[in-house]
Amino acid sequence: MTVRVAVAAVTFNRHKELSVLLDAINAQSAAVDTICLVDSGTDPARDVAARHPNVDYVRSEANLGGAGGFALAALKAVASGAKWVWMMDDDAEPADPECLATLLREAEARDLEAVVPLVVAPGHPDRLSFFFRLDGKVTHDRAQLEKVGFLPNDGHFFNGALIRSDVFFKVGLPDMRLFIRGDEVDFTIRLRKAGIRFGTVTTTAITHPHAFSETKHVFGARWHVIVPDSAFKRYYYYRNRGYLIRRYFRVKSLVADVGGYLGYFAQRRDLKGLLAWASSFSKGLRAKGFAPLEDQKF
């Protein structure tokens, strides 16, 4: 019996990348029933979407960010009646035509409610775009993950994550307040708290632009901080880190962030950077600064 799968995808002014993604999705050996595509870009991608008859195109005049876009796309996908929802950003691409079939097979074999592929860097299939922590140390080495085989209760949402539709009824949709950065961490925490069975399989992958340069080691290989490459991304990342620490009372994360960022900026004698981090982070700790994009000050 064929299992119905809907893709929940978001796009923002990436027509070329979106075209590659849609072609790759519809070239999968396991058929996709519908592609629920939310477009918040200033340059609408209707023409790109129209090339594929199974695309359910949703134009958003407001910039919902990644979190809001995924929330709307996932809700549309669940409403389509699909059993599984395959989450995808517009600059991602399944690494091969068997990606979805492998995820479905692994989910069934392991009795999972959500399953995540490895995310590798374009042009560097041996390197993970986002690090994992093994034995307390950060690694971007795909081969190290493949030796493990399966990582229970761990994974990088939302790129390539295959999620049963009923999971959204149990844990809710991505939190649109987080806009970008941190929405995937929040969703993962909710999965764990709800006891959802999920994990990362190392037998398939998607490609997605890497974030190697954002990982900054402070006190050796076991202590690092993330410093995004633009003021816009840094603001949301720092604010959302603070908010998630407050929301889930993450004491270890509080200690790690305060110590890590103080050390990082002190080592570089970067007072301006430290003050910007403190301002954004404290807003999150106080649950302040949430509003539509045009009303936010940073």
What whole-number distance in Å separates Cα of residue 92 and Cα of residue 119?
9
Give the tokens for residue 103.
């995820």
Q: Could you give the residue ranges of the DSSP H alpha helices within 80-219?
A: 99-110, 142-148, 165-171, 183-193
Using DSSP, state whether 39 is helix, strand or coil.
Answer: strand
Question: Which domain, by its residues, includes 172?
Answer: 5-207
What whole-number distance in Å separates Cα of residue 293 and Cα of residue 230?
16
Using DSSP, state whether 132 is helix, strand or coil.
Answer: strand
Give yes or no: residues 138 and 282 share one domain: no
Give yes or no: residues 9 and 127 share one domain: yes
Q: Which of 154, 174, 207 marks a domain boundary?
A: 207
Span of 123-137, 163-177, 178-192, 263-277 with lowest mean pLDDT: 123-137
What whole-number distance in Å separates Cα of residue 202 and Cα of residue 142?
8
For 92-134, what is each residue's pLDDT tens digit? 999 999 999 999 999 999 999 999 999 999 999 999 998 888 8
Residues 277/235, Cβ–Cβ less than 8 Å: no
139 has a pLDDT exceeding 90 = no
DSSP-derived letter for residue 156 is: -
Span of 46-60, 104-118, 141-155 with lowest mean pLDDT: 141-155
* CATH number for position 99: 3.90.550.60
Query: What's the first-to-final CA gap in the chain, in angstroms?
Result: 52
What whole-number distance in Å separates Cα of residue 197 and Cα of residue 246?
25
Give yes or no: residues 177 and 32 share one domain: yes
* Cross-strand partners of 206: 94, 119
Q: Could you give the residue ranges of the DSSP H alpha helices within 80-230?
A: 99-110, 142-148, 165-171, 183-193
Predicted pLDDT of residue 82: 98
138 has a pLDDT exceeding 90 = no
Mean pLDDT of 61-80: 96
Using DSSP, state whether 296 is helix, strand or coil.
Answer: coil
Closest residue by Cα to residue 144 from 131, 155, 154: 131
Q: Per the structure, how many domains does the chain have? A: 2
Q: Which residue has the higher pLDDT, 220 or 198?
A: 198
Give yes or no: residues 49 and 114 share one domain: yes
What whole-number distance in Å separates Cα of residue 265 and Cα of residue 238?
14
Give yes or no: residues 21 and 145 share one domain: yes
Predicted pLDDT of residue 253: 94
